[in-house]
A and B are shown apart, each in its own frame.
Chain A
Amino acid sequence: MIIRAREVETVSNFLSKTVSLALTSVLALAFLGLEANAAEYWLRAGTTTLTMPDGAVIDMWGYGEDADQDLSTVDGIVTVPGPEITVPAGDTTLTIHLRNDLPVASSLMITGQPADGTTPTFEGGRVMSFSDEAAANGGTVTYTWSNVRPGTFLYASATNPAVQVQMGLYGAMVGLLVDGPLCEPSPGGGTAYPGIIFDEDLTLLFSEIDPALHAAVAADDYGPGKGTTSTIDYNPKYFLINGAPKEAGSNPVEIGTGGDRLLIRFLNAGLQTAIPVIQGFYMNIVADDGYPTPYPAEQYSVMLTAGKTHDAIFSLECSNLPEPMASTGNFALYDRRAHRLTNNDMPGDGGMMTEFALLDQDGESIVDICDNCLGVANANQVDTDGDLYGNICDADLNNDQYVDFGDVGPMVRAFIWQEENGDLNSDGSVNFGDIARFLDLYDAPPGPSALK
């Protein structure tokens, strides 16, 4: 049932989609570009804690989205990484209001997106921050980017980055070129770059924690003349994807809900290089630091140096699935710098690993993207007429793509002559159970099937 797609085929599919939709995107942009809108966020820099699998409680700094969009009060939950900043297609301006509840001055910058009119701050001739700062303990600042570039970018503190970034002051900024697929509407999809259209996107943000450094900062024991004077002994013990290390019982990330084009946005907010490897698939790496690359690079790995972003897209078509995954649906993504696949030397796997689970919503051990009838468990996948709609979803017996009066005659004939294509529920005979199913499916197109 599963056809082994070869890479050439995969790439040509990818390219044909790319080329045909690139033109459409450009046209759409021409319309969308006429109206300038603005995205606006209210963020708060503050403290929080993360509990590691070995029970260690780590003091973190992070960003939270202010719940009432009023920075005069303290509300909203501080997270690591911070909230994802999204800029809808057509928006040309992004505004971020930042309140700083940390005990030191702080700030925010988006690498690769120059903010309007900000200036570095200096103290005694030394640069302290690459952007405007909010004063400690409640100071505020507002940043505006009036020429936002779509793509995947990292935002982080611009103040004393050696300390503040690794404390947790980082997050992803995602700007879309076009909201939603143009030709095949599916919720959550969009166009990331010219011609790079996805049905589903995932952000994977890599970072690390050196608990000794966090403890020193939290105890006000970091700085000139204090117990820890620099980050020169940086030695991380915990390695995170989206703020969490792998641990026993970690839930897999569910994918495969929309269409088959999955875009992964890789960001590295850590201070070390990570090499994410995806098991069983090749990805097309299509962007580097938020800029599209001239040619897609087909790889199973991504060289993700500190501060880097890469976007990779790959096909989750059923024909592209390695065999065991069509039934089990799980595959791994892991940092190939394998000595970091640990949680502070605890026994067992840890660190920067995540598992993806392809959804099987009807539970028949055939993942949705390989299922010829979605929403109804049909483990046998019987499809008598071979039209890629499983019988249980296919009352369109005359194959005119709609179940209507024209199918009644064939159904009656199948009932009388016990023709297999009328055995919708695959119980071995065409009986009243199949008639009932036929009526359920009446006056609708056949399906849904992921194979069509």
Chain B
Amino acid sequence: MKTATDTALRHVSALRRIGISILMLAGLLIGGTAQAVITGTTGVNFNLTAKEGYVSMGDGATIYMWGYALNGGPAQLPGPTLIVNEGDVVTVTLTNDLAEAVSITFPGQADVVTTGADSQGYLAGEAAASGGEVTYTFTASNPGTYQYHSGSNVALQIEMGLAGALVVRPNAMNQAYDSPSTAFHQEYLFFLQEMDPHIHTAVEAGETPDLTNRQAQYWMINGRSGPDTFFADGVPWLPNQPYGAMARTHPNEKVLMRVVGAGLDLHPFHTHGQNFRVIARDGRMRETIPGLSGADAGISDFTLTVAPGQTYDAIWSWEGKNLGWDIFGHAPGDPCEASAEECDPASPYYDHGKPIPVTLPEQQFLTFGGFWSGSPFLGQEGALPPGEGGLNLDGGFFYMWHSHAEEELCNYDIFPGGMMTMMIVEAPGVPIP
């Protein structure tokens, strides 16, 4: 789990390397507000173990899996999110508790030096079955979003769960890459996988799995299928799935989406609320002039085709513009909180103090849900009948982010679930996380 101390340490280390006071000042200003940081493990030396475990799906099913564990802990789905800094020399030591040879390959990282391999797998040097050990060392030369996965018996081992995310942070804080065009306020990881439980059951029973008839039945974000994606990081009842996938932001903030295609199928990942703009793929910025233009070649879209093996960075921002009513629920005399534009009659954002242009129906005509705060205004709460609401204590707006292949919104044919989570736009001032 990432703690506030880890975060502070990372910031201190980044600042030491930069050593520029003006950036320190900027860092302090930004650091003054609460900020969502991807949960993971920081440092440069990582001890992973490939081992057996069980994951819990949204329908209550318990599925046998193989995962990478951190420091001898439980097998994780996905593997530990490794968070390093640009230029770090990263060492990953892999111990193998499984009954077949296993390894790690790092797509997009050049110069991976393998030491102590017991055998050579197709894509990487291996740790032998039942106790073998191998070490990989590489320099994280380029910032970006990456993944790692098994390089052995890959037809089976990726399906079994041997994959994780690698985040390389640039020298500048609160940027995805070494370009101000990639600046963000909040960042979230969306690590997309799917699994065919019949393969897992066969492996657990010691049978030969039927890979060419693979048919996925569970679809996960950060190792969890909906609605477990909503739970916080590290909840005790999901010991093998420590990462939640609920995202939160404030209006007008830039949200960095780090999206990883880690399974074997493609997924159309769809954001509600507003378009995102792709700034990078496979850990490289989309630039019209490489090295000069910044991330200006990406497209604006609302569905990201996420292919296995690829990674994507995108910036999403909810501006609430052109609504014709004040998303903040201001009275006409209130201060202009979000920007000067909301009080500028010439601006398309000129919504200050305008009430929502409908009369709310009486409660007996409304259908409620857990996410309804009782008020249509951001940050406001209203009267709710007994037993309704309760999941939206800050009066935020909930937007479902999900795979738009609708069958993937199921847990073994049961809707809703699967590759689905929520983005909550919270009122300014609501602390995140």
Contacts and interface: CB of A to CB of B under 8 A. Distances in A.
A6 to B, nearest CB: 6
B142 A297 contact: no
Question: What is the interface residue range for chain B against chain A?
Answer: 35 or more
Given A282-B108, A282-B282, A338-B159, A298 B122 contact: no
A341 B110 contact: no
Interface string B301-330: 000010111100000000000000000000
A332 B291 CA distance: 28
A303 B265 CA distance: 12
B182 to A, nearest CB: 15
A432 B149 CA distance: 56
B111 A303 contact: no
Nearest to B139: A4
A417 to B, nearest CB: 41
Contact of A322 (B105, B112, B310): B112
A301 B307 contact: yes
Q: Please indicate which of the listed interface residues B122, B212, B286 has the most CB atoms of chain A within 10 Å of its own CB.
A: B212
A144 B290 CA distance: 41
B107 A279 contact: yes
Contact of A273 (B107, B113, B139, B266): B266
B123 interface: yes
Contacts of A299: 281-282, 284, 310
A353 interface: yes
Interface string B101-115: 000010110111110
Interface centre among A237, A341, A350, A351 (most CB of B within 10 A): A341
B279 to A, nearest CB: 13
A11 interface: yes
A342 interface: yes
- Chain B: interface secondary structure? loop
Interface residues of A, number: 44
Nearest to A332: B123
A301 B123 contact: no
Interface string A259-303: 000000000000001010101111000000000001111111101
Contacts of B307: 273, 275, 301, 303, 336
B122 A345 contact: no
A270 B322 CA distance: 46
B430 interface: no
A328 B194 CA distance: 36
Nearest to B122: A349
A12 interface: yes
B155 A342 contact: yes
A328 to B, nearest CB: 10
B159 A345 contact: no
B299 to A, nearest CB: 12
Contact of A295 (B108, B113, B288, B310): B288
Nearest to A320: B110
Interface string B207-233: 011111110000000000000000000
B158 interface: yes
Contact of B308 (A235, A275, A281, A351): A275
A70 to B, nearest CB: 43
B19 to A, nearest CB: 21
B297 interface: yes
Interface string B154-192: 111011000000000000000000000000000000000
A27 interface: no
Contacts of B123: 279, 332, 334
B287 interface: yes
Contacts of A349: 122, 153-155
B290 A337 contact: no
A226 interface: no
Contacts of B265: 337
A421 B7 CA distance: 56
Contacts of A74: none
Contacts of B308: 275, 336-338
Contact of A297 (B155, B159, B286, B309): B286
A19 B142 CA distance: 25
A104 interface: no
Contact of A237 (B112, B158, B212): B212
Interface in B310-365: 310
B15 interface: no
B122 A332 contact: yes
A342 B156 CA distance: 9
A341 B287 contact: no
A10 to B, nearest CB: 9
A277 B287 CA distance: 21
B141 interface: yes
B212 A342 contact: yes
A37 to B, nearest CB: 36
A301 B310 contact: yes
A183 interface: no
A171 to B, nearest CB: 25
B158 A301 contact: no
B158 A295 contact: no
B212 A344 contact: yes
A44 to B, nearest CB: 32
Contact of A334 (B122, B266, B288, B305): B122
A339 interface: yes
Contact of A345 (B105, B139, B212, B291): B212
A6 B111 CA distance: 12
Contacts of A344: 212
Contact of A301 (B212, B214, B282, B291): B282
Contacts of A351: 155
Contacts of A350: 155
B281 to A, nearest CB: 6
Contacts of B70: none
B210 A339 contact: no
B309 A4 contact: no
Contact of A340 (B114, B155, B210): B155
Contacts of B114: 324
B107 A300 contact: yes
A219 interface: no
B38 to A, nearest CB: 22
Given A273-B266, A301-B309, A353 B122 contact: yes
A15 B266 CA distance: 32
7 contacts: A4-B139, A295-B286, A301-B307, A336-B309, A340-B212, A342-B211, A349-B154
Interface of B: 105, 107-108, 110-114, 122-123, 139, 141-142, 153-156, 158-159, 208-214, 264-266, 281-282, 284, 286-288, 290-291, 297, 305, 307-310
Of all A-B residue pairs in the complex, the 4 with the closest CB atoms, nearest first, are A336-B309, A11-B290, A299-B282, A322-B110
Given A11-B290, A297-B281, A301-B310, 12 more contacts: A12-B290, A237-B212, A279-B107, A299-B281, A301-B309, A334-B154, A338-B154, A338-B155, A338-B308, A339-B156, A341-B154, A345-B210
Interface of A: 4, 6-8, 11-12, 15, 235-237, 273, 275, 277, 279-282, 294-301, 303, 322-324, 332, 334, 336-342, 344-345, 349-351, 353
